[in-house]
Amino acid sequence: MNKKKKIGGLRRLFEISIVIIIGCICAITRSAAAAAAKDDQFLLLLGVSPQDEDYYKGLLSSPSSTIKCKDGSFKFSTSQLNDDFCDCPDASDEPGTSACPNGKFYCKNAGHIPFSLYSSRVNDGICDCCDGSDEYDGKVKCPNTCWEAGKVARERLKTKIATYQQGVTVRNRLVEQAKLAIAKEEAELSKLKNEEKILKGLVEQLQERKEQIEKAEEKERLQKEKEDKERKEAEEANLKEKQNGEQVESSEADALKNDIHDKIGEQVESSEADALKNDIHDKIGLLGDSSSSQDVMDGHGDSESEAQHGEFDVKEESPIGDVKPLQEDSLLHATEKEEQLTVDGQPGLDTGNQAEVEEDNSESLSKEELGRLVASRWTGEKTEQQTEEVSSTKDKNHGTEEEDAYGEEYSSYDSEEDDHRYDNDDGDNEDQMDDFGGEDHDDSSPSYKSETDDEPDLPAEPSWLEKIQKSVRRIFQAVTFFQTPVDKSEAARVRKEYDESSAKLSKLQSRISSLKQKLKHDFGPEKEFYSFYGQCFENKQNKYVYKICPFKQASQVEGHSTTRLGSWEKFEDSYKVMQFLNGDKCWNGPDRSLKVKLRCGLNNEVTDVDEPSRCEYMALVSTPALCVEEKLKELQDKLDMMNKEQPTSHDEL
């Protein structure tokens, strides 16, 4: 019903306009003339803004007076003002008609906000000014809607002002808190740095001692080995005929194993373990972008967060027996994966190879596979999707349900990995691979969350450092020199003390680095964004959850799959926009990126997420941090003005 009415209305409107086109004679000039007779002054100054009234004054005195166009290029007379012919290139002679293309028409809009229209809107049959003043040639009748529209606008403005009023208070509190917190953290940092210096010295001493002990032990061990060997050789000589070769082999193998075991044991215990760790970290850093490496950095040396990373556990704690097979396994694994990458179509990454794959394989594809493959050229739905489709259609009937390209892309990503897991009954390795692939970004959030609450991990009382100092002093006092054979209990005590101290040192250093990292950030001119640190804002849109973590990264999560929309870049547009760059690569497009527009609001929340251009996201976040006092004043002034300019009567036209 409604629809028909609308169409009918539209048609009627159209018919009317045709009648008008056919019926009225030179509407513009005629009505202009008629109006001129009625109200010269009104017509002459049609479309003139109050600021400009002075400029036209000179023309109102007599019909023969002239003034210069605003740009000084030309002179025009009273009769040329609003005569529907453009004389001034800058449109100054035609403020009230459409004759000059660059002109502006001022509508008073009493009761609402005055507005300057492009002159192309004047007498074009469409009501633009709420007071209807832009349509005066009689083609259409525009009702004055300023009062109603103004009322709505005023109400909206009032609400906004109320929000700002509260928001400004919240913001002030935030700013206060931030300043205090930052001061506290800076103090802590300088304290920690001091402690670090002391502790480092102790650890170095301990290490030195420990190495001495170990050297002595090694010497002893070699001596013992030599003796053993001599003894063994003697025995062997005796038993040579009785023993078979197998036994020899096995005992040699044992010895070899022990040997390796010992060596690795040393490494793990010695500082080389750290080196190894660092090495691994570096590699991870290389692999990922700044954000993932930052995550790793944050975790670096922090045993708490490391414990959450499976691979570090393995490295630090694994005895030699575990390390070797792991290497073999993952080597094998990687080869497998490489094969899949090239044969199956490059999970998630290689579209470049797709062409080749297509050329190679398209002939053997089923009709449907081929169709999907070709369609993907235009859509950019990734090859692994096709691959997935392919494999799934081979096994089962694939649903034809249409899904968003992203949905398919990432769900297939998931299923592919799932398959992978099933293929290789080696969950640990798989996880590790994932971490190396830098894909499982969810993992990074716990580690970074820990930052905010890792403070209590360090002993709160200052006496802890003294305690250590004391006990170390004791050690050095007790054992000023050592002799062979090494005193076992003494050696153990040194080792334990060393282990404990260096663990504490690394904890301390981690805290220092995370504090440094944090304080390095730009929290805004008044530190009003300090509270954003360590926070994430989430928003659910259909099947996606958008997660925006300022100073960190932003991601789009669907089920178990996460797409990185970008890592923190900076504030832009005088702290009204947060920019996240270098997210996951888009097929045939840019790296994903996210712009977050900030608005004043009472809570920190994501109000909207959008993808205006493929892979370029845009989010709206409301936050009290944006509720600035100056803006509040501006809004109040605007409201005052609107209240002032109420029309005297409602039916002016």
Partner 1 sequence: MKKSPNLIFHILFLLLLISPSVFSWKKDEFRNCNQTPFCKRARSRKPGSCNLIATEVSISDDGDLIAKLIPKTQENNESQDAPVEVDSKPLLLTVSVYQDGILRLKIDEEQSLNPPKKRFEVPDVILDEFLSKKLYLQRLSEEKIDNDLGFSSVVYLDGDYEGVLRHDPFEVFVRERGNGKRVLSINSNGLFDFEQLREKKEGDDWEERFRSHTDTRPYGPQSISFDVSFFGADIVSGIPEHATSLALKPTSGPGVDGFSEPYRLFNLDVFEYIDESPFGLYGSIPFMISHGKARGSSGFFWLNAAEMQIDVFGTGWNAGQDKIMMPVDEKRIDTLWMSEAGVVDAFFFVGPGPKDVIRQYTSVTGRPAMPQLFSTAYHQCRWNYRDEEDVFDVDSKFDEHDIPYDVLWLDIDHTDGRRYFTWDKVLFPNPEEMQNKLAAKGRHMVTIVDPHIKRDDNYYIHKEASDNGYYIKDASNRDFDGWCWSGSSSYTDMVNPHIRSWWADKFSYGNYVGSTPSLYVWNDMNEPSVFNGPELTMPRDALHFGGIEHRELHNVYGYYFHMATSNGLVKRGNGKDRPFVLSRAFFPGTQRYGAVWTGDNTAEWEHLRVSVPMLLTLGLTGISFSGADVGGFFGNPEPDLLVRWYQLGAYYPFFRAHAHQDTKRREPWLFGERNTELIREAIHTRYMFLPYFYTLFREANMTGTPVIRPLWMEFPAEEETFSNDEAFMVGNSLLVQGVYTQRAKHVSVYLPGEQSWYDLRSGAAYKGGKRHKFEALEDSVPAFQRAGTIIPRKDRFRRSSTQMGTDPYTLVIALNSSKEAEGELYIDDGKSFEFENGAYIHRHFKFSNGKLTSSNAAPSGAGGNRFSTDCTVERIILLGLSPAPKSALIEPANQKVGVQLGPLTIRHGNSPSFLTIRRPNVRIEDDWTIKIL
Please tell me the distance from the alpha carbon of residue 138 to that of residue 548, in angstroms, as a whole number: 54
Nearest to 138 by CA among 33, 49, 41: 33
Q: Which of residues 577-636 bind partner 1 (CB under 8 A)?
A: 585-590, 612-614, 616
Please tell me the distance from the alpha carbon of residue 263 to that of residue 267, in angstroms, as a whole number: 6
Nearer to partner 1 by Cβ, of 294 and 450: the residue is 294
Main-chain phi, psi angles of 339, to 5 degrees: -60, -40
Q: Least distance to partner 1 from the beta carbon of 596, Å?
A: 18
Q: Give the DSSP H or E segment for 6.
A: helix 2-23
Distances (CA, A) of 83 to 52, 68, 128, 133: 18, 16, 22, 17
For partner 1, the binding residue among 22, 37, 237, 460 (CB under 8 A) is: 22
Termini Cα distance of the chain: 33
Contact call for residue 374 and partner 1 (CB under 8 A): yes
Q: What angle do CA 403, 557, 339 make, to 5 degrees?
A: 75
Q: Least distance to partner 1 from the beta carbon of 597, Å?
A: 14
Nearer to partner 1 by Cβ, of 310 and 590: the residue is 590
Q: Using the rule CB under 8 A, give the single segment among 40-48, 107-115, 181-189, 367-375 that binds partner 1.
A: 367-375
Q: Using the rule CB under 8 A, give the single segment among 2-10, 223-231, 244-252, 524-532 that binds partner 1.
A: 2-10
Q: Least distance to partner 1 from the beta carbon of 117, Å?
A: 10
Q: Compute how many residues bind partner 1; rule: CB under 8 A.
A: 91
Q: Using the rule CB under 8 A, give the single segment among 264-272, 370-378, 486-494, 524-532 that binds partner 1.
A: 370-378
Q: Using the rule CB under 8 A, give the single segment among 44-52, 197-205, 353-361, 642-650 that binds partner 1.
A: 353-361
Query: What SS3 state is found at 483?
Result: coil
- Of the CA atoms within 13 Å of residue 228, those in its CB half-sphere come to 7
Contact call for residue 33 and partner 1 (CB under 8 A): no
Please tell me the distance from the alpha carbon of residue 455 to that of residue 450, in angstroms, as a whole number: 9
Both tokens assigned to 381: 């739905």
Contact call for residue 383 and partner 1 (CB under 8 A): no
Q: Least distance to partner 1 from the beta carbon of 61, Å?
A: 23
Both tokens assigned to 494: 């040194």
Q: Which of residues 75-114 bind partner 1 (CB under 8 A)?
A: 83-86, 89-90, 98-102
Q: Which of residues 272-301 bind partner 1 (CB under 8 A)?
A: 279-280, 283, 286-287
Q: How many CB atoms lie within 10 A of CB 626?
A: 21
For partner 1, the binding residue among 55, 115, 406, 436 (CB under 8 A) is: 436
Q: Least distance to partner 1 from the beta carbon of 589, Å?
A: 5
Q: Which of residues 298-327 bind partner 1 (CB under 8 A)?
A: 315, 327
For partner 1, the binding residue among 11, 219, 221, 560 (CB under 8 A) is: 11
Q: x/- string (CB under 8 A) for partner 1, residues 123-142?
A: -xxx------------x---
Q: Least distance to partner 1 from the beta carbon of 363, Å?
A: 4
Contact call for residue 8 and partner 1 (CB under 8 A): no
Q: Least distance to partner 1 from the beta carbon of 426, Å?
A: 14
Q: x/- string (CB under 8 A) for partner 1, residues 203-232?
A: ------------------------------
Q: Least distance to partner 1 from the beta carbon of 100, Å?
A: 7
DSSP 414-467: HHHHHHHHHHS--HHHHHHHHHHHT--GGGHHHHHHHHHH-GGGS-SSTHHHHH
Nearest to 347 by CA among 374, 386, 293, 297: 386
Q: Least distance to partner 1 from the beta carbon of 341, Å?
A: 7
- Of the CA atoms within 13 Å of residue 125, those in its CB half-sphere come to 9
For partner 1, the binding residue among 68, 70, 151, 337 (CB under 8 A) is: 337
Q: Which of residues 229-248 bind partner 1 (CB under 8 A)?
A: none
Q: At what angle do helices 320-340 and 427-437 cross, to 10 degrees?
A: 60
For partner 1, the binding residue among 334, 458, 602, 639 (CB under 8 A) is: 334
Nearer to partner 1 by Cβ, of 321 and 525: the residue is 321
For partner 1, the binding residue among 246, 359, 425, 630 (CB under 8 A) is: 359
Q: Least distance to partner 1 from the beta carbon of 116, Å?
A: 12
Nearest to 203 by CA among 507, 451, 443: 507
Q: Least distance to partner 1 from the beta carbon of 14, Å?
A: 9
Beta bridge partners of 104: 118
For partner 1, the binding residue among 378, 460, 648, 649 (CB under 8 A) is: 378
Nearer to partner 1 by Cβ, of 139 and 547: the residue is 139
Please tell me the distance from the alpha carbon of residue 373 to that of residue 369, in angstroms, as a whole number: 6
- In our burial notation (b when 16+ CB lie closer than 10 A, e otherwise), range 207-234 reads bebbebbbebeeeeeeeeeeeeeeeeee
Q: Which residues contact 482 (CB under 8 A, 6 or more apart)?
A: 212, 213, 216, 490
Q: Are 504 and 238 in contact (CB under 8 A)?
A: no
Please tell me the distance from the alpha carbon of residue 174 to that of residue 609, in angstroms, as a whole number: 26
